[in-house]
Amino acid sequence: MNRSWIVKTPPVAEPFTVAEMKVHLGIGAAETQWDAYIPRLITGARAHTEDRTNRGLITQTITLVMDAFPVQIVLPVAPVASVTHIKYVDTGGTIQTLAPSKYRTDLVGVPSKITPAYQETWPTTRTVISAVEVEFIVGYGAAGSSIPGPLLNAMELLVDHWFENRSAVGDVGGPVALSFEALVRHYIVRTVQMEDAAT
């Protein structure tokens, strides 16, 4: 069963401001020649950390699409703050919004899951690709101060390495990779989707 997701609404801020990162890098406030470059490093470090951990660090909206309802929906990104909606294409080809009373959410567990409510079943969908859409909000908050310290440290490590090795190519390796992995490994979300479609 096809299952994919995208960031529908990206973060409106990054985990660090340019001023904060300049302090970390030991760059004076008056040294403005790096002010356009540092934000790209910050964004890259956040994206890399999110990709490695399957987490959304700053508040953002995710859209998950599937070809049909599985037994349970495992949300691929954490931490989940709320589920905005579940939509599906019914057998007549009309897009319907599933009432929240028809399903239960476990947003405490990692990964978070959605199942039919008690004595409910998933509705039957038309046999088309992307027949089911789940939109949900993830993130620790709107500011970097809400992100766990080890993840902040991991991103600072990447920015520092990339700034000091601006001409390097290839993946981060060696001691930097080991340090990064040591910082993020307890935050990696491992999702196992139950692929059996509901009947």
The rounded distance, in Å, linking the Cα atoms of 14 and 45 is 10
The rounded distance, in Å, linking the Cα atoms of 103 and 97 is 12
pLDDT at 172: 56
pLDDT at 126: 98
Taking only the tens place, the pLDDT of each residue in 67-109 is 999 999 999 999 999 999 999 999 999 999 999 999 999 999 9
Task: Give the burial class of 29: count Cβ atoms within 10 A of its Cβ; 0-12 exposed, 13-18 middle, 19 or more buried.
Answer: exposed
CATH architecture entry for 10-57+141-191: Orthogonal Bundle (1.10)
- Average predicted confidence (pLDDT) for the chain: 93
Percent of the residues in the chain that have a pLDDT greater than 70, as a whole number = 93
Residue 199 has pLDDT above 90, yes or no: no
C-alpha pair distances (Å), 8 with each of 30, 64, 137, 150? 37, 10, 10, 27
- Torsional class of 152: left (φ above 0), alpha (ψ -120 to 50), beta (otherwise): alpha
Give the mean model confidence (pLDDT) for residues 109-120: 97
Question: How many degrees, rounded to 5, is the angle at CA 147 between CA 79 and CA 173?
Answer: 95
Mutual angle of helices 149-164 and 38-53, in 10-degree steps: 130
pLDDT at 169: 56
Taking only the tens place, the pLDDT of each residue in 35-54 is 999 999 999 999 999 999 99
Amino acid (one-letter) located at 190: R
Give the mean model confidence (pLDDT) for residues 51-71: 98
Residue 111, CB-side half-sphere exposure with 13 Å CA sphere: 19
Instruction: Give the other-Cβ count within 10 Å of 128's Cβ.
Output: 10
Residue 197 has pLDDT above 50, yes or no: no
Q: Please report, for the chain, the start and end positions of each structural domain, with discontinuous segments joined by +.
A: 10-57+141-191, 60-138
